[in-house]
Amino acid sequence: MRSSLTKSLQVLCALSALAPLAALAHDEPTPLIDRVRAATARFLNINAALAEGFVPATPCVSGPDAGAMGVHLVYPPRLDMIVLNPRQPQALIYEPMANGAMRLVGVEFIVLQSVWEASNPPPAVPALDGNLMNLVGFPNRFGLPAFYELHVWAWEQNPRGSYADWNTNVTCSHQPDRSR
C-alpha cells in the first residue's frame, strides 16, 4: 500500500513539475508563429492587405462562450489550391477596435477538402509545421464546402493556445452595426 502511495506521489510531483512548462508553451512564440509574424507584419495596417488583394470574407465571427475569431479577409487565389506555407496564409484575421480601426490578431490557413483529397487520398490530413489542420464539414456556418483550417494567433496571445479556433482575448463588441 505504501509503495503504491509513494509511486502516486512521485507521479503527481512529476506532473506538477511539468505544469509550468506547459503554461510556458502557450506564452512563448514557436517557429511557426515567428514565420507568420515575419510574413504578415506588413498587414498590421489593413489597407496594405486590401491593396495586395485580400478581400473581406466574414463579419466579426464570435462564439457565445468561447471568445471570437474576428473579421476574416481572404486571398481568393490561394483558396483553389493547396498552399501550406507559413508565409502565405489564406486569411488574415482582424479585431474591430472601439476607434473604428482594425487590429491584426492572427491568420487562418484554409484548404478545401475536395482540393486536398484530389491529391491526397484519405485518411491523409493536411498539416502545417507538424500542426494537423481541423476539418470543418459541410454544412457549416460559413456556407462553404467542407474545408480544413488552422488558426495561428501570431499577433494576439490566446489563453486557449496559439492554434485554437477561438481566442478569449479577441472580441467582436466593436463590430460596426451594418443594419442601420
SS3 36: helix
Q: How far is CA 75 from the centre of its chain?
A: 16
* pTM attached to this predicted model: 0.82
Residue 162: inside a domain, yes or no?
no
How is the chain split among helix, strand and coil, in percent rounded to 5? 30, 25, 45
SS3 67: coil
Residue 49: inside a domain, yes or no?
yes
* Cell numbers placing 82: 493547396
Phi and psi at 27, nearest 5°, equal -95, -25
Q: Concatenate the DSSP letters of all residues of 77-93 into one string.
A: GGGGS----TT--SEEE
Residue 105: inside a domain, yes or no?
yes
- By the 10 Å C-beta count (0-12 exposed, 13-18 middle, 19+ buried), 22 is classed as exposed
Is there a contact between 36 and 86 (Cβ–Cβ < 8 Å)?
yes
Q: What domain range is 142 assigned to? A: 29-152
Q: Tell me, what amino acid is at 91? A: A
Confidence of residue 32 (pLDDT cuts 50, 70, 90): very high
Domain count, the chain: 1
Is there a contact between 67 and 46 (Cβ–Cβ < 8 Å)?
no
Residue 16: inside a domain, yes or no?
no
The helix (run of H) or strand (run of E) holding residue 70 is strand 68-74
Using one digit for the tens of pLDDT, what is the confidence trace for 33-72?
999 999 999 999 999 999 999 999 999 998 767 889 999 9
Using one digit for the tens of pLDDT, what is the confidence trace for 75-128?
999 999 999 999 999 999 999 999 999 999 999 999 999 999 999 988 999 999
Is there a contact between 72 and 118 (Cβ–Cβ < 8 Å)?
no
Whole-number pLDDT of residue 29 = 76
SS3 66: coil
Residue 144: inside a domain, yes or no?
yes
Question: What's the whole-number mean pLDDT along residues 3-10?
Answer: 36
Is there a contact between 40 and 107 (Cβ–Cβ < 8 Å)?
yes
* Cell numbers placing 28: 512563448
Residue 119: inside a domain, yes or no?
yes
Residue 99: inside a domain, yes or no?
yes
Residue 8: inside a domain, yes or no?
no
